[in-house]
Structures are given as C-alpha cells and as structure tokens.
C-alpha cells in the first residue's frame, strides 16, 4: 500500500473519522467507494459523540460563604438573644472562603441565650448531601423541616450539669452545595431550668430560614 500524502496524515491525527472516509477515496477512486465512505462517516461520528463521557464539571451554585454576622435581621437577633448586640462575633476559620461562623450570646437578668450560625461551601451537591447525611446521623431523635433548602433537619436536646438545665436546638440545612448549621440554646439561672423545647426549636428554625435566605441572596442563585 502506498503511503498517505503528508497533509492527509496530518489531518488523520486531528479528525480520525473524517480521514477514514478520505483514505478510502484515495485508495479506490470509484464513485461507489466514495458514496460508502460518506455514508459511514456521519454514523461513526454520531456514535462517538453519543457514547463519549462528558468531562465538563457541573457548576457550583455557591462558591464562597457569605458574611455570617450579616445573615440575620437585627430583629431576629434581638428576639432570640435578648441583650445581645446585632453585630455578633465572627469566629476564626481556617478557610473563610468556604467556612464562616457568627456567634451571639447574652445574659439578660437570669436568662442566658446563645446562637451560632455557620455556613460551609463544598465542592459539589453530592459532597454536601453526604456531609448532611453524616451529621444528621450523629444527631438522632429529630425530624425533617419541610420547605427549607433542599433538605433540613431539626433536633432539640436537654442536658443537666450541676443541677443546671440547658436546652439546645440544632438545625441542619443543605442548599445545593452549601451547608447551613444553626445552634441555639438557653438556660434560666434563677430556677436552674431551661426554655421549653418548642421555644428553642422554633427559634433555631427561624434563624435557619433567615440564614438560608441570606445564602441565596449572596450566591445569586439557589
């Protein structure tokens, strides 16, 4: 077999399917061979494009964590943590672009309240879902919160230390590739009791809804 001309060999490295048709025409110049090569080329091209795996990564809905201390309206902070300043205090983070937390706490009279709002950005929806499921499994006894993010879970627990009760609620939310965690707890130091389960649970969910809204606004989508 005679060797292919240089331009044809070069084209073969760039478009192998099209060159197979050209090579058939070069080796047998009959019209039937030309027609057969042209008929087969589109079929081969179609098969390759259909079966070839996509290498394009799905875009992330959220690329960075929003400012956590700006995530709650002032009236939400003052209602949940009486006596606390609306600014809150951002906690140190090893990577503020993907993980940020703000904390508010205050003692008003004998009532103490603590509220944390945390945002975490993962590489994909799948990773966020896996982390959400793992954290949910660690906090059994709660229930789903409908209509919040892609998935949300709330749980409230009561602890007692030196006869002082503290009731803490945690709300976990997954929104696309982001995770939002709200922790809200309280104690009454006068009679050593704790706020009711209903008060803590509703307060934590209220903060979580505001935080998810802030996340969506900051991300532009979601």
* Domains annotated on the chain, with CATH: 6-51 (no CATH), 68-219 (2.60.120)
Instruction: Record the pTM.
Output: 0.73
| Interval 120-168: pLDDT, tens | 999 999 999 999 999 999 998 999 999 999 999 999 999 999 999 999 9
| Interval 61-114: pLDDT, tens | 999 999 999 999 999 999 999 999 989 999 998 888 899 999 999 999 999 999
**What is the DSSP code (8-state) at residue 69?**
G
Nearest to 222 by CA among 172, 178, 171: 178
End-to-end CA distance of the chain: 61
- Using DSSP, state whether 172 is helix, strand or coil: strand
């Amino acid at each position: 077999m005679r060797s292919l001309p240089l331009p044809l060999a070069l084209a073969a490295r760039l478009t192998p399917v099209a060159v197979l048709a050209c090579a058939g025409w070069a080796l047998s110049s009959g019209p039937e061979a030309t027609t057969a090569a042209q008929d087969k080329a589109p079929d081969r091209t179609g098969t390759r494009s259909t079966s070839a795996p996509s290498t394009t990564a799905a875009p992330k809905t959220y690329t960075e964590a929003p400012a956590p201390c700006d995530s709650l309206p002032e009236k939400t902070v003052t209602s949940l943590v009486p006596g606390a300043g609306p600014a809150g205090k951002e906690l140190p983070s090893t990577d503020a672009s993907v993980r940020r937390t703000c904390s508010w706490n205050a003692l008003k009279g004998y009532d103490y309240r603590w509220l944390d709002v945390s945002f975490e950005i993962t590489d994909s929806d799948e990773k966020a879902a896996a982390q959400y499921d793992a954290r949910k499994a660690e906090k059994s006894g709660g229930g789903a919160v409908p209509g919040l993010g892609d998935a949300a879970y709330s749980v409230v627990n009561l602890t007692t230390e030196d006869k002082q009760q503290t009731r803490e609620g945690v709300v976990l939310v997954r929104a696309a590739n982001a995770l939002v965690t709200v922790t809200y707890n309280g104690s009454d130091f006068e009679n050593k009791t704790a706020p009711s389960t209903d008060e803590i649970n509703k307060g934590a969910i209220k903060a979580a809804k505001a935080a998810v809204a802030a996340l969506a606004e900051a991300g532009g989508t979601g």
